[in-house]
Amino acid sequence: MFDVGFSEMLVIAVVALIVLGPERLPKAARLAGLWVRKARAQWYSVKAELEAELANEQLRRELQSPLDEVKQALEGSTASVDELMRGKTAPAATDKTQSDDPSP
């Protein structure tokens, strides 16, 4: 995140020691550590939530493709069943009307 080396940390520690003094420096260090831990925990929480949401979206996309294929197959099969039903009932009705007719 930040590119802080050992020398920069040493300068920050010396400045903090001079500004805060040896009595208040441990308390300030604990407080700074607490805030850093809270910020890190919040960051990890947001990161985990984002990763979970992305995983859910990816899974949804992966499942949508086979679902679309099944829907298309069902639509095609119902269309062919409808065509078969129309084809079977139409000739049967025509045959029936012809057989009902008494003329040879």
| pLDDT tens profile 30-47 | 999 999 999 999 999 999
Taking a C-beta distance cutoff of 8 angstroms, is the pair 29, 37 a contact?
A: no
Which pLDDT tens digit goes with each residue over 4-34?
Answer: 789 998 998 899 989 989 899 899 989 999 9
In the chain, the amino acid numbered 37 is R
Domain ranges, ordered by start, for the chain: 26-86
Confidence of residue 100 (pLDDT cuts 50, 70, 90): low
Nearest alpha-carbon partner for 70 in 59, 78, 82: 78
* Full-model pTM: 0.47
